Amino acid sequence: MTSLRPLDELANTIADRAANPSEKSYTTRLLDGGVAAIGAKVLEEAGEVVEAAGEPGEAGREHFIREVGDLTYHLLVLMQHQHCTLADLEAELSRRFGVSGLEEKAARKCE
């Protein structure tokens, strides 16, 4: 039996909530709210990640990790809403590998 990576497991759980909505599911509620609801949470959590990144010491590091987890969950919900899988994300990141970030940004302006 192969165990899934935690991100795959979380993405699968979110996909299951999308396919099998439940009134008791926070994920279902977010998905029902669409981009407006999910996007608001992504923005909120991104701010909390940045805020936590400025906190000193081990407690700050632990708070940062928790906030990154929250942001990652909400990004995965938004990805599900947009029918974007982890494989899609990995393909995009692979496409960019070995390309200067500045060059990649410049190329996007030409599209």
pLDDT-derived band at 1, boundaries 50, 70, 90: low
Q: What is the pLDDT of residues 28-63, one digit of tens each?
A: 999 999 999 999 999 999 999 999 999 999 999 999
What is the value of pTM for the model shown?
A: 0.87
111 — pLDDT class (breaks 50, 70, 90): low
**Nearest one of 29, 10, 28, 30 to 19, comparing CA atoms:** 28
For residue 71 the two structure tokens come to 């942001």
Residue range 68-97, pLDDT digits in tens: 999 999 999 999 999 999 999 999 999 888
Q: What CATH code is assigned to 6-109? A: 1.10.287.1080
Distances (CA, A) of 62 to 48, 49, 58: 13, 11, 6
More confident residue, 110 or 12: 12
55 exposed, middle or buried (CB, 10 Å; 0-12, 13-18, 19+)? middle
Q: Domain boundaries in the chain?
A: 6-109
Whether residue 105 has pLDDT greater than 80: no
Q: 9-38 in b/e burial notation, b at 16+ Cβ within 10 A?
A: ebbeebbebbeeeeeebebbebbeeeeebb
| Per-residue pLDDT at 72 | 98
